[in-house]
Amino acid sequence: MEIHLLGPLEVRHHGLVTPSAPKLRRVLCLLGIHANNVVSTEKLIKELWEEDPPASVTTTLQTYVYQLRKLLGLRASNGSSPGPDHDAGAPALLTTPNGYTLSLAPDALDAYRFEQLAALGQCHLKAGEVEKAADTLRDALRLWRGPALVDVTPGAVLQTEALRLEEVRKSILEHRIEADLQLGRHHELLGELTGLALREPTHEGFQAMLMLALYRAGRRSDALRVYQRTRMMLARELGVEPSNRLWRLHQDMLTSSRDLDPRPVSTTAKTRLTSASEHPCQLPPNGRILVGRDDELAMMLHALSACSREGPNVVVVSGPPGSGTTSLCIRAGHEVRDRYPDAQLYAGMLKDSDPANPGEVLASFLRALGVPDRRIPAAFEDRRRMFCAWAAEHQALIVLDDAMSVKQLMQVLPVEGPCGVLISGRRRMFLPGGVTVVDLPPLGTEDGLRLLTEVLGPERIAENPHAAADLVQLCDGLPSILHAAASRLASRPHWTIDHLVEQVRRTRSTGAFLVGAWSPLVTSVRRNYEVMPEALRTVFRRLCAIPSPFLPPVLVAAVLGVPEEFAEFLLQELANRQLLRIDFGMVPTTPERYWLLPTVRAIGRYLQAPLDEDLS
């Protein structure tokens, strides 16, 4: 099966079998974009019906899934007991406890192939292999047959995905043109850049590259006119002056700076990349805008840049659900890639709601390093020895996302060598040795407003700054909810911020927000919740029912009917799992204060659960 999303929707499976019904197309697109990952029922409902699902929403969604299976010939099970004619590699549409998974080969999806080629091309460009970067990025862009999902009427979720893909496409196009400029292809680029600059008159990146291409082609006066035209457009459309980058380029052209002359691509860079291109880069692309994390990022970069003789440099990042631990680790990983040139390896340590198998993680690393499947040992300990032997001699970065426990990590981490390790954890973890621990708190109001401004623009925030501040408070300063809320406002320019604030307030007490702007946080809280023992789940549900956000041990002991010392132990355990926050006293004699973020408490009240049993 092949699914093409970068342009008109097209599905090929023993012929062209593209669905025609609008809602079926939307379900298929959402499952395809997240192929081989669970798409939650809440996300599908949000995409199809937003805030107004029908009374029979579950049955209706099941009907759509059935129709897709029938139309595309997809299996409904994971094939754990296949018959004699069963193809274990055949595509399937699987039902999971929390939603559905479209299982298919990753390269069957054009969006996946695009992002893989894009990441590889950027690796080549940053490492200095400019010609290979240009060719790889050009191959990535050829996969686009038009705007993503151009013939699909998207809901809120797909609209966000389409916008994300378009922004990635523009970024990759910039990188490809940058590579071509480095290769001295300014004459060949003039036609393409002229069209881009006219279509995107306020895109300063395209304007800057057109100016540079014109200047290098001996047309300085035309390049200066592009600057004046861009300056007028920015002032008229956005009320701003050109960026420092564009202003400096203009000044360099006025003085005929030699810095603008084309430079031949270094042969040493090409030679170095002949070997560097064999080194895998598995880091996901940089995603969301990061705001208010400068101190934490600086601490991580300092720790990863250290020259340690004691073993790998290890950084563990944790925070409440929705605080952006994964985004921060990915950003830090990209920042230190030059420090770890031999490989950048990435693995998710949580699969659905179960810890990833350490043996499978090690096997994926070995495959990425070029070890053929036939040479990967079957026994876990042999795999571990092979990987640790390689890591002891190479400067590699290892990013472990959604780590669940110290035991899980110790089975995967190298014990010696010049490696760097970045860990995002769903609980606080304290590893042996010199480990840097970073705790991500929610954003304050000022940083939350900065995040909203980055996404929506200053004009939208200036319309009602008090409502924007209220939105930050309602979202508890959690970046994932703020991004979701901002995306909702960005896709609905007719909405005021006041409207969204009132909607969140209304739905907060009914549970309707579970399929609304907070759905990313719901997914994150549920993951933390589902990996806990059932007794601890019961404690969490009962604490969420307490009206007060603050939870002194004496109150918790009374509610749970347990001794106060045991109540404090339970509170500490939930805090370690990042479902409670702790305020430490200003002096040692002041007791800690345990409290629930209001958003987390609201979600906890609506988590499905059997009848609570006696804790005894």
DSSP conformational letter for 16: B
pLDDT over 80 (residue 353): no
Of 172, 162, 108, nearest to 139 (Cα)?
172
Q: How far apart are CA 3 and CA 31, in angstroms?
A: 11
CA distances from 301 to 39, 46, 304, 359, 426 (A): 33, 38, 5, 29, 21
- Taking only the tens place, the pLDDT of each residue in 461-477 is 998 999 999 999 988 89
pLDDT at 80: 38
- Taking only the tens place, the pLDDT of each residue in 298-308 is 999 988 887 76
Q: How far apart are CA 492 and CA 488, in angstroms?
A: 6
pLDDT at 512: 58
% the chain with pLDDT above 90:
36
Task: Count CB neighbours of 356 within 10 A.
Answer: 21
Task: Count CB neighbours of 451 within 10 A.
Answer: 24
pLDDT over 90 (residue 18): no
The mean pLDDT value for 189-196 works out to 93
Q: How far apart are CA 474 and CA 317, in angstroms?
A: 24
pLDDT over 60 (residue 590): no
186, 217 in Cβ contact below 8 A?
Answer: yes
Domains, the chain, ordered by start: 2-106 (1.10.10.10), 111-260 (1.25.40.10), 279-437 (3.40.50.300), 445-517 (no CATH), 532-605 (1.10.10.10)
Q: How far apart are CA 223 and CA 219, in angstroms?
A: 6
Q: Which residues contact 510 (CB under 8 A, 6 or more apart)?
A: none
Residue 87: pLDDT band by 50, 70, 90 thresholds?
Answer: very low
pLDDT at 589: 43
pLDDT over 60 (residue 529): yes
State the average pLDDT for the chain.
84
- Taking only the tens place, the pLDDT of each residue in 105-126 is 767 889 988 988 888 888 777 7
pLDDT over 70 (residue 90): yes
419, 398 in Cβ contact below 8 A?
Answer: yes
Q: How far apart are CA 13 and CA 437, in angstroms?
A: 48
The mean pLDDT value for 565-588 works out to 78
The mean pLDDT value for 66-81 works out to 74
pLDDT greater at residue 504 or residue 568: 568
Q: Which residues contact 277 (CB under 8 A, 6 or more apart)?
A: 123, 124, 127, 129, 132
Query: Which range has highest mean pLDDT (11-15, 82-86, 201-205, 378-382)?
Result: 201-205
The mean pLDDT value for 217-238 works out to 93
Q: Which residues contact 94 (CB under 8 A, 6 or more apart)?
A: 75, 76, 77, 78, 100, 101, 102, 103
Helix (H) or strand (E) holding 351: strand 350-351
The mean pLDDT value for 204-224 works out to 93
What is the DSSP track for 43-108?
HHHHHHHTT---TTHHHHHHHHHHHHHHHHT-BSS--SS--TT--TTS-EEEE-SSEEEEE--GGG
Q: How far apart are CA 458 and CA 454, in angstroms?
A: 8
Helix (H) or strand (E) holding 594: strand 593-595
Find the DSSP H helices in 130-266.
130-142, 156-182, 186-199, 204-216, 220-237, 244-254
pLDDT over 70 (residue 203): yes
- Taking only the tens place, the pLDDT of each residue in 23-38 is 999 999 999 998 888 8
pLDDT at 38: 87
pLDDT at 486: 87
The mean pLDDT value for 141-160 works out to 92
Helix (H) or strand (E) holding 318: strand 313-318
Buried b / exposed e over 49-66, threshold 16 CB at 10 Å, is beeebeeebeeebeebbe
528, 578 in Cβ contact below 8 A?
Answer: yes
- Taking only the tens place, the pLDDT of each residue in 310-319 is 678 899 999 8
pLDDT at 592: 63
The mean pLDDT value for 390-404 works out to 89
42, 34 in Cβ contact below 8 A?
Answer: no
pLDDT greater at residue 514 or residue 150: 150
Task: Count CB neighbours of 98 within 10 A.
Answer: 18
pLDDT at 85: 38
Q: Which residues contact 314 (CB under 8 A, 6 or more apart)?
A: 303, 413, 420, 421, 423, 431, 433, 434, 435, 436
- Taking only the tens place, the pLDDT of each residue in 236-291 is 999 999 888 899 899 989 988 888 887 765 433 333 333 333 678 888 887 677 88
Half-sphere exposure of 353 (CA within 13 A, CB side): 17
Q: Which residues contact 110 (CB under 8 A, 6 or more apart)?
A: 2, 3, 4, 5, 6, 143
Task: Report the residue count for the chain.
Answer: 616
Predicted TM-score (pTM) of this structure: 0.54
pLDDT over 70 (residue 432): no
38, 98 in Cβ contact below 8 A?
Answer: yes
Residue 416: pLDDT band by 50, 70, 90 thresholds?
Answer: confident
Residue 223: pLDDT band by 50, 70, 90 thresholds?
Answer: very high
Task: Count CB neighbours of 419 within 10 A.
Answer: 27
Locus of tokens 């006066």: 221
pLDDT over 60 (residue 440): yes
Q: Is 118 exposed, middle or buried (0-12, 13-18, 19+ CB in 10 A)?
A: buried
pLDDT over 80 (residue 560): yes
